[in-house]
């Protein structure tokens, strides 16, 4: 293992980052964690049986990340950050059909400064992210049916997770307070209904975030999400069909001006899961309607929203010991064009890592104002290792709007529409059932737009790397 760490260290020192004051710390931390814990037999992480009365679990993730040639406007060109995420979970099951869950999240960062893109996506200290009661009602809708109910504060993911998710890569999570109902019938029909108040993470000022200050999050009726999904298994060509609707509404609150978004988002999806020596596919279309204020000003005019997003992929899983899967992908998220209506797609609370790229210090890509075909290769070299390589070129859907989440914009449209080429790689390795390692490397060759737009950061390349160690108890 010491040889592997030396190889990683030499590789990182060859990358063109200007300074590495934090590099030794995460590597030493990862090594200390690995050698301090006893080895375990191979296999999946131990899970408490569902009939156990009370169970405690914990996870700790330590991450080192660095970036050079930042693509986002107004931040340090080069940066490094160390982050820690600790999750403590208690699950109490007084009855097979009733369970109570309490979960504490502690997310912190070190090494940032006022030019580092630190937000509530990175810092949220000592926060009770989940505190809910769940009840299962078998046979409530007839023989073979089931209803699962949740009430309280909980993590929420819907469907493809492109609109509502608890992003795993990010250092903090999306939590909500409300109710959820999941219905299932023996005929393959399922439905999910939710009414929640999304968590407003606190503190949210930069100085408090850099100091890892503690403040309890809040939920209010000035930020509401409700809606649901209906799915049916094996509907077309063995694929699951899904239709969904989500309403997202916000209004100003004391000390919290907003764009007063009132968005109705309709979605439809077909997905056939990967299987050996079989074609798989996914197609999802999303339409967004509603209103939004033109700015944060209280007297800002209201604009009608007409936005949309589409995702498609077609893959094939080959036979062989590595189980390779090759897929062609396409994503298109509308951007805002001149003319009065607001046409920039809003990804709401969706995840991004699974489809697009890492967040954290990189965080240049989300589902707004881009067109991107792509090719992806996934493989499982061993029971303990998996890897992914993805290539995507990016264009702006509307050249007058800011590109994705970079904040880079040319309102004249004269800087063109090509943003660049992105190569994204990920390697994950389970050293033991309770110790998992992950390395992510992203290279972005900036296109004309990201080089020439008026507020584009200097440089032709963005280089990002992260090293993650996760412990499960």
pLDDT tens sequence across 375-405? 999 999 999 999 999 999 999 999 999 999 9
Mean pLDDT of 440-464: 97
Q: What is the pLDDT of residue 50?
A: 53
Task: Find the DSSP H helices in 158-257.
Answer: 206-210
Mean pLDDT of 308-328: 96
> By the 8 A CB rule, do 103 and 132 touch?
no
- 203 prior amide bond cis, ω within 30: yes
- Evaluate if residue 36 carries a pLDDT over 90: no
Structural contact between residues 343 and 337, judged by C-beta atoms closer than 8 angstroms: yes
Residue 5 has pLDDT above 80, yes or no: no
The neighbour count for residue 280, using CB atoms within 10 Å, is 18
The 10 Å Cβ neighbour count of residue 1 is 10
pLDDT, one tens digit per residue, over 197-240 is 999 999 999 999 999 999 999 999 999 999 999 999 999 989 99
Mean pLDDT of 139-157: 92
Q: What percent of the chain has pLDDT over 90?
A: 81
pLDDT of residue 51: 54
- Two tokens, residue 291: 């209103």
**What average pLDDT is seen over the chain?**
89
Count the alpha carbons within 13 Å of 62 in the hemisphere toward its beta carbon.
15
Q: Does residue 369 register a pLDDT over 60?
A: yes
User: Tokens in use for 241?
Assistant: 């069909």
Neighbouring-strand partners of residue 181 = 149, 193
pLDDT value at residue 326: 98
Closest among 339, 422, 324 to 379, alpha carbons compared: 324
Tokens, residue 235:
């509907």
Predicted pLDDT of residue 111: 95
Tell me the C-alpha distance between 313 and 293, whole Å: 34
DSSP at 35: H
Rounded CA-CA distance 380/320 in Å is 10
Residue 171: CB partners within 8 Å, gap ≥ 6?
A: 63, 83, 85, 107, 109, 121, 122, 123, 360
pLDDT for 363: 95
Task: Note the pLDDT of residue 393.
Answer: 98
- Say if residue 117's pLDDT is above 70: yes
Strand pairing class (262-272; 98-110):
unpaired
> Facing residues of 313 across strands?
282, 329
pLDDT of 33 strictly over 80: no
Mean pLDDT, to the nearest integer, of 247-263? 92
Burial class (CB in 10 A: 0-12, 13-18, 19+), 373: middle
**pLDDT at site 298:** 87
Domain that holds residue 465: 2-46+53-472
Q: pTM of the entire structure?
A: 0.87
**In this predicted structure, which of 9-23, 31-45, 69-83 has the lowest mean pLDDT?**
31-45
Q: How many domains does the chain have?
A: 1
Per-residue pLDDT at 8: 40
Q: What is the DSSP letter of 71?
A: -
| pLDDT above 70 coverage of the chain, percent | 89
**Residue 208 is part of a domain; what is its CATH number?**
2.40.160.100
């Amino acid at each position: 293992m010491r040889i592997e760490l030396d190889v990683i260290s030499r590789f990182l020192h060859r990358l063109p980052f200007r300074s590495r004051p934090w590099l030794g710390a995460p590597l030493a931390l990862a090594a200390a964690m690995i050698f301090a814990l006893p080895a375990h037999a191979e296999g999946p992480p131990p899970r408490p049986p569902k009939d156990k009365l009370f169970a405690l679990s914990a996870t700790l993730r330590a991450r080192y990340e660095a970036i050079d040639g930042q693509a986002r406007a107004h931040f340090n060109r080069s940066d490094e950050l160390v982050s820690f995420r600790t999750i403590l979970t208690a699950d109490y099951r007084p009855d097979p059909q009733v369970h109570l869950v309490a979960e504490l999240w502690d997310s912190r960062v070190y090494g940032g400064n006022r030019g580092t893109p630190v937000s509530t996506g990175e810092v949220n200290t000592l926060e009770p992210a989940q505190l809910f009661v769940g009840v299962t009602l078998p046979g409530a809708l007839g023989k073979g049916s089931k209803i699962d109910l949740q009430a309280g504060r909980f993590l929420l993911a819907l469907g493809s997770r492109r609109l509502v998710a608890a992003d795993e890569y990010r250092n903090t999570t999306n939590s909500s307070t409300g109710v959820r109902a999941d219905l299932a019938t023996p005929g393959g029909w399922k439905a999910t209904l939710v009414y929640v108040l999304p968590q407003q993470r606190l503190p949210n000022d930069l100085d408090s975030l850099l100091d890892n200050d503690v403040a309890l999050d809040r939920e209010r009726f000035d930020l509401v999400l409700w809606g649901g999904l209906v799915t049916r298994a094996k509907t077309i060509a063995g694929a699951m069909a899904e239709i969904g609707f989500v309403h997202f509404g916000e209004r100003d609150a004391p000390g919290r001006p907003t764009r007063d978004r009132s968005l109705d988002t309709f979605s439809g999806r077909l997905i056939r899961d990967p299987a050996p020596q079989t074609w798989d596919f996914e197609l999802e279309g999303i339409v967004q309607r509603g209103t939004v204020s033109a700015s944060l000003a209280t007297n800002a005019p209201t604009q009608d929203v007409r936005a949309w997003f589409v995702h498609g992929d077609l893959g094939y899983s080959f036979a062989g010991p590595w189980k390779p899967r090759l897929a062609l992908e396409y994503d298109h998220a509308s951007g805002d064009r001149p003319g009065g209506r607001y046409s920039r797609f809003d990804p709401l609370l969706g995840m991004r890592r699974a489809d697009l790229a890492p967040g954290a210090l990189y965080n240049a890509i989300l589902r707004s104002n881009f067109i991107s075909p792509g090719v992806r290769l996934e493989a499982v070299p061993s029971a303990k290792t998996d890897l992914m390589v993805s290539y995507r070129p990016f264009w702006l859907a509307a050249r007058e709007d800011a590109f994705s989440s970079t904040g880079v914009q040319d309102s004249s449209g004269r800087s063109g529409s090509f943003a660049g080429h992105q190569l994204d790689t990920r390697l994950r390795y389970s050293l033991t059932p309770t110790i998992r390692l992950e390395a992510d490397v992203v290279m972005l060759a900036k296109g004309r737009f990201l080089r020439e737009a008026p507020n584009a950061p200097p440089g032709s390349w963005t280089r990002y790397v992260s090293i993650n160690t996760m412990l499960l108890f």
